[in-house]
Amino acid sequence: MRSVLVALLLLASMHTFAASSDAPRAIPVVFATDIGSDIDDTWALAQVLRSPALDLRMVLTETGEARYRGAVTAKLLEAAGRTDVAIALGSDFGPMPDEHRHQGPWIRGYDLDRYPGTVHTDGIGAFIELVMASPQTVTVIAVGPAPSLGAALAREPALAARCRLVGMFGSFDLGYDGRPPAVPETNVRYYTDSLRAVLAAPWQDVLLTPLDTCGLVSLSGPDYHAVWSATDDPLLRAVIENYCIWAPRVPWMHCDFFTTRSSILFDSVAVYLAYDESLVETETLAFRITPDGTTVRDPVGPFRARVALRWKDQAAFEAHLAARLLRLPEKPAEN
């Protein structure tokens, strides 16, 4: 009898192991961000942390004052209980003026040197090391201008072939107001030469969300109210605290706008595309970048990418985003 029980237990354990080994592995991710300028990077980092399909290994800072961006990242990771995530300080262009440190008051008194996790002062080297040592393809989610990524590729060109790139870049048919014409999008317009080098690299795949899709997304109504009201969730509290600090410090926000809805959540679409594309329509485009930073279709252009140009169901994405942030069960997609 005992031998039968042992055999049954062994069979059950083998079944459990097989089931777990058949489960899809989370996607290793590096999040390249200019967090601390526009608030959408903060929302997007929270979304990465709340996405079971993504395994965030590192946050790489882009542009500006690296330690400022690193401190915003570190405090947010602490709020999420995710100090296992390494912070890589990327290209640094010196101290930012206070009027550009839109989330500065939130980190007043915060000491980056006391972050319980790892902070790499040579973040570009640490990023290269992580990618080159990874047995799996690394997905780089890039949601800011790209001088750090460009510097990493200059130092180690072989890293692109070990990664896929999912980015928030460009404007093909729609501008910032959701209407034509296309405009020079910020992540392309600044450090354009670095982005050209990034887009020319031999990534396994390049998937972009331009303003045509990401420039339309925000949370409002019950979805936004649920996030705003999640007072017992330290990560979402941190997001909303940052939003409340950020909104009065930027000239384009109405003073009470942040109490009723989010700003445009450009970067959240790039995070979504890192693990799912079912709610967008993509096209493979060849394009060039003009001197002013506009992305223009061109059949003989030097760059080629899959581009999410249209939504299949934007409302479903916004509901999905709110549910993901709130860790709620999500409704299955309708056929």
What are the sequence ranges of the domains in the chain? Answer: 24-326
Type of residue numbered 286: A
Helices (H) and strands (E) in the chain, counts: 12, 10
* Residue 29 scores a pLDDT above 50: yes
**DSSP state string for 56-119:** EEEEEE-SS-HHHHHHHHHHHHHHHT-TTSEEE-----SPPPGGG-TTGGGGTT--GGG-SS-E
- CATH number for 24-326 (one of 3.40.50.2000, 1.10.8.420, 3.40.50.460, 3.90.245.10): it is 3.90.245.10
Each residue's pLDDT tens digit, 179-217: 999 999 999 999 999 999 999 999 999 999 999 999 999
* Residue 252 scores a pLDDT above 70: no
Residue of 212, 188, 207 lying closest to 291 (CA atoms)? 188
Q: What angle do CA 190, 275, 74 make, to 5 degrees?
A: 60
d(CA 215, CA 282): 16
Q: Are 89 and 125 in contact (CB under 8 A)?
A: no
DSSP designation for 302: S
3-state secondary structure of 335: coil
% of the chain surpassing 90 pLDDT = 84
When pLDDT is averaged across residues 102-115 and rounded to a whole number, the result is 96
Q: Are 59 and 88 in contact (CB under 8 A)?
A: yes
pLDDT, averaged across the chain: 91
d(CA 30, CA 87): 10
When pLDDT is averaged across residues 9-26 and rounded to a whole number, the result is 46
Q: Are 297 and 287 in contact (CB under 8 A)?
A: yes
Q: Which residues of 88-122 are buried (b: 16+ CB within 10 A; e: fewer)?
A: bbbbbeeebeeeebbbbebbeeeebeebeeebbee
Structure-token match 């790489």, residue found: 60
* Residue 139 scores a pLDDT above 90: yes
Structure-token match 């107001």, residue found: 177
pLDDT score at 332: 55
pLDDT score at 13: 36
Q: Taking the CB of residue 205, how many other CB atoms lie within 10 A of it?
A: 12
